[in-house]
Amino acid sequence: MEQEKLIQESISNWNGNGYSYIDKPTTATGTEATEGRTIAVDPKYIPRAKVGGRWKRATVNISGIGNRVAEDGGKDIEGYDIDVFMGTGKNTIKTWGDMNRTVRLISVN
């Protein structure tokens, strides 16, 4: 299982993009998306699941970006894809491009 592999070691070659919401950014886990904290992930690879009525979200370190929390998802996020929340508004991600980074699991809370 890939999730077990992530828990055991850092994984290189994750594909990433920036994303934004026009307004009222509510994530798949019900939190408010926050720049500098929120990422969207495939929960089969980075833990993000409801357990006993409470959301469990992984905190990961993305090389060159910092620590982020798996709070969101999307139909186009599969496997080794991560989208980093960049804020709200149409012009938020103009300077953001694709990235290829190493991701290391910090914790699951």
Per residue in 50-75, pLDDT (tens digit) is 889 899 999 999 988 899 999 999 88
Q: What is the pLDDT of residue 64?
A: 87
| Residue 39, C-beta contacts closer than 8 angstroms, at least 6 positions apart | 60, 62, 68, 69, 70, 71, 72, 82, 83, 84, 85
| Residue 5, C-beta contacts closer than 8 angstroms, at least 6 positions apart | 11
Q: What is the pLDDT of residue 49?
A: 86
Give strand pairing partners of 56.
49
Strand segments (E) across 3-72: 11-21, 38-41, 48-51, 54-62, 66-72
Name the burial class of residue 17, with classes exposed (0-12), middle (13-18) and buried (19+) by CB atoms within 10 angstroms of its CB: middle
Give strand pairing partners of 107.
59
Name the burial class of residue 86, with classes exposed (0-12), middle (13-18) and buried (19+) by CB atoms within 10 angstroms of its CB: buried
Residues of the chain with pLDDT under 50: 1
